[in-house]
Amino acid sequence: MNTGLEDLKPKALWKHFQAIAAIPRASGKEAAARAYVLAQAERLGLKYEEDGVGNIIVRKPASKGREGAPTAALQGHLDMVCEKNEGTAHNFDTDPIRLVRDGDWLKADGTTLGADNGGGVAAALAMMESEDVAHGPLEFVFTVDEESGLTGASEFPSGVLRAKYFLNLDGEEEGTLCIGCAGGLNTVARKAVERQPAPAGEAWRIKVSGLQGGHSGLDINKGRGNALRVVGRVLETVLDRLRASVAEVQGGSKHNAIPREAFAIVVVKAGQGATLESIVSAIEAEVRSEFGAFDPDAKITVESVARPVEVISAADALAVTALLTALPHGMLAMSPDVPGLVQTSTNLATLAMPEGAVEFGTSQRSSIESSKLATGRMVATVFGMAGFEVRRAGGYPGWKPEPKSEIVQLAQAVHKDVLGSTPELVAMHAGLECGVIGEKHPGMQMLSFGPHIVDVHSPSERLKISSVEPFWRFLTALLERV
């Protein structure tokens, strides 16, 4: 397929981008992409090393006269998110990405494009072979399995990098420099519940739906409703006013998502259905008013269902309801260093009722490690007061913003000189590989940037072609001034 990219500059970057797009590289299946990187290193006569999970480090000596410059590392991840539109015939294990140029945008034919992080990897490969840039000693870091859980970064060995400056090429917005990210922690709580025969009466299913949900980091400060909190609010009133019994409560689907839907099945005395509907209707009006434009389509419905055989004990029902209403959720602190950045948050993410038990899933985030751990302890304490056993899972470190660091100050100056504008300093309330790898190399100064990409992780993913050449000019100029 003719993509119309053959005459774009820088030619080396676009050459590698097209080559990478032709290589299947789903998370955990990066073998062919790794082979391509190693082949380039061998072709160029560069030394490299691999670790136990498949990460690669390639080292390139300094240009003549720059031997005394500090070492800089360029880093990107080899894997991509594999999503396709319904009806698109594509096998991500065998088929190349079909590139389509649409004006100033490059996209794929019905699938994700893989510009996240194909653009950054291509830039690193182009720099590996460049003879035109007067750079100091360079390290090129290619990680695996970033998209499904930062696995490559988590298993990356400590102390192997010599770099003073770490340049992550996984940014997605032109005109910005990312200087920090949140660390994460999952706090999970479980408790055995007592089940007993359901009392006589009517059974009703209460469902919360219509909420937007969203990413538990990037969207946590947008005022959106949490379906589990809402269903807890309903249960609190129903248990108090109707002395209802609870058969089931569930909601949420992922630890890193704000729950959009939740439901509960309750048993009330015969004839109380109308009162239940009135209670639910009143609470629906309240939450709609409270959420306003943040979540305008919030809905709470009630439908009659078959009476269950069993319900959980009254004490267990009260404990679950109390947690749904008392557990902290949402933004807890803003960053004092980066305007508009959420520094610390917690997300009440999931509630499930596996056989004989009830299990809550929550996630905590902060760009300050001590704040992340303190928030996890706070959530664990609340669970403990309700008699739940608590465990931690999936922790990874954050990256504290340092807007006055040498590399940030230098990058701003270079951006101004080369591209004519001062870049905006931003940070993400989500995980990046910088935080994980940086923790293993204390004192290493970090920065993240890249060409402009929109709608990542979806078949609508697009790379802005006109942003690539300025990205390259900035990268090369920065390396020449490091």
> How would residue 2 be classed by pLDDT, with cut points 50, 70 and 90?
low
pTM greater than 0.85: no
Written as one letter, the residue type at 265 is: I
Q: Is 33 within the bounds of a domain?
A: yes
User: Looking at residue 438, what is its pLDDT?
Assistant: 94
CA distance linking residue 150 with residue 365, whole number of Å? 15
Enzyme catalytic residues: 79, 146
CATH number of domain containing 326: 3.30.70.360
DSSP codes, 26-41: BTT--HHHHHHHHHHH
What is the residue range of 26's domain? 11-182+399-481
The reply to whether 145 and 236 lie within a common domain is no
The last residue of a domain, from among 396, 419, 447: 396
User: Looking at residue 390, what is its pLDDT?
Assistant: 97
Q: What is the domain count for the chain?
A: 2
CA distance linking residue 160 with residue 201, whole number of Å? 67
Distances (CA, A) of 187 to 62, 313, 346: 46, 25, 10
Residue among 371, 375, 428 nearest 181 (CA): 428
pLDDT (average), residues 323-352: 93
pLDDT in tens, 197-219: 999 999 999 999 999 888 888 88
pLDDT for 3 beyond 70:
no
pLDDT for 4 beyond 80:
no
Q: Is 56 within the bounds of a domain?
A: yes
Q: Is 445 within the bounds of a domain?
A: yes
> How would residue 328 be classed by pLDDT, with cut points 50, 70 and 90?
very high
CA distance linking residue 148 with residue 80, whole number of Å? 9
Mean pLDDT value across the chain:
95
The last residue of a domain, from among 355, 380, 396: 396
User: In sequence order, which residues have a C-beta less than 8 Å from that of residue 76 and are 6 or more positions away?
Assistant: 117, 120, 121, 123, 124, 141, 142, 143, 168, 169, 170
Tokens of 231: 């269903």
Rounded percentage of the chain residues whose pLDDT exceeds 70: 99
Max Cα separation, the chain?
Answer: 88
Q: How far apart are the first and last CA of the chain?
A: 40
Residue among 100, 117, 129, 178 nearest 11 (CA): 129
The reply to whether 27 and 58 lie within a common domain is yes
Does 309 or 397 have the greater pLDDT score? Answer: 309
Task: Give, to the nearest 10 degrees, the angle between helix 11-21 and helix 31-43.
Answer: 150
Tokens of 150: 């930062």
CA distance linking residue 362 with residue 226, whole number of Å? 12
pLDDT for 447 beyond 90:
yes
- Radius of gyration (C-alpha) of the chain in whole angstroms: 26
pLDDT in tens, 29-42: 999 999 999 999 99
The last residue of a domain, from among 396, 418, 438: 396
Identify the residue whose tokens are 């790794």: 34
pLDDT (average), residues 38-54: 97
User: In sequence order, which residues have a C-beta less than 8 Å from that of residue 171 and are 6 or more positions away?
Assistant: 120, 177, 178, 448, 449, 450, 451
User: Looking at residue 1, what is its pLDDT?
Assistant: 45
User: In sequence order, which residues have a C-beta less than 8 Å from that of residue 357 and are 6 or more positions away?
Assistant: 190, 191, 192, 193
pLDDT in tens, 418-432: 999 999 999 889 888
Q: Is 2 within the bounds of a domain?
A: no
pLDDT in tens, 74-118: 999 999 989 888 899 999 999 999 999 999 999 999 999 999 999
pLDDT (average), residues 149-171: 95
Written as one letter, the residue type at 419 is: L
Tokens of 8: 């774009």
Residue among 209, 194, 394, 233 nearest 321 (CA): 233
